Amino acid sequence: MITLAFLLALGAQDEVAAKAALESFKTSYGKSKDPKSHAEAVLELAKTIHGSVAIKLSLLLTTDDKEVRIAAATGLGTFNKPADMKQTAAKYLGQALTAGANAREVEVRVAIFAALGTLQEETSCNTVKSHFEERDPKIACAAVSAAGGIRSKTLIEPLIQVLKECERDLKPVAPPPAPPPAKGKAPPPVFGPSPAQREPDKDTKERANAVIGMAVSALNSITRQDGLKTGDDWERWWIKNRSTFTVPK
């Protein structure tokens, strides 16, 4: 049996290691003004998993150069044990998604979603889901990919809806109906073929195609159902199986 004294000794060792890692990071960081060197120091610091290190990474995630923020996100993505540490890291990452300059930095937000997917923390489901509708395809794909990493049953239905919405975005749009004739006047005669349907614009098509592929991959990751492709396929499967489905190991 592990004694209380042994546990306390382990805790003290962790404190010493974290303090040493933070001091080493401070020294390394101060030696250079190069963002790349700073990012390397951040990744080295993140090898010491401790609450005080997580706090430092969370501060760097919202205040420093882009390279440093990306490194801090990547580092927090490794804080997967114990359970309370994983939840804390996921909370810091979620809070940083739209904080400060991150709201305008696609690369940083993509790195944050990648870290959330790596952590596989269920409490991040709502955070990830809330970004499925992002118009930027890189961010939308990153959020959907993170959902595939988290592998929660609660994300299956939202992912199916994303898939169906993107499929609709790829379909031609019917032209608007002609305005009704003025009161007391007959409608004008119609000559020639009906107006052609309007194709979706290039940006809409590119986003839809990118997100469709990522949504199918995420659904496959969660369910291990590799043969389903379209939104209707997934919807029929989900209606039939949702009451008994458990996420496979």
Give the list of residues 6+ apart from residue 135 with CB closer than 8 angstroms, or none: 207
CA Rg value for the chain: 25
pLDDT by position in tens, the chain (length 249):
445 443 333 354 688 999 999 999 999 988 888 999 999 999 999 999 999 999 999 999 998 899 999 999 999 999 999 999 999 999 999 999 999 899 999 999 999 999 999 999 999 999 999 999 999 999 999 999 999 999 999 999 999 999 999 999 998 866 666 567 666 666 666 655 555 667 778 999 999 999 999 999 999 999 999 889 999 999 999 999 999 999 999
Pairwise CA distance, residues 137 & 218, whole Å: 15
Which pLDDT does position 124 carry in this prediction? 97
Positive or negative, the CA dihedral 88, 90, 93, 99 is negative
State the first-to-last Cα distance of the chain, in angstroms, to the nearest integer. Answer: 30
Phi and psi torsions of 13, nearest 5°? -65, -40
Using a 10 angstrom Cβ sphere, with 0-12 exposed, 13-18 middle and 19 or more buried, the burial of residue 5 is exposed
Please name which of 168, 151, 144, 142 lies closest in space to residue 225, comparing C-alpha atoms: 151
**Residues in the chain, how many?**
249
Which pLDDT does position 196 carry in this prediction? 62
Which pLDDT does position 64 carry in this prediction? 83
pTM of the model: 0.86
- State CA 205 to chain mean position distance: 21
Which pLDDT does position 1 carry in this prediction? 45
Please name which of 35, 43, 99, 41 lies closest in space to residue 66, comparing C-alpha atoms: 35
Pairwise CA distance, residues 116 & 216, whole Å: 19
Q: Are the C-beta atoms of residues 18 and 53 closer than 8 Å to each other? A: yes
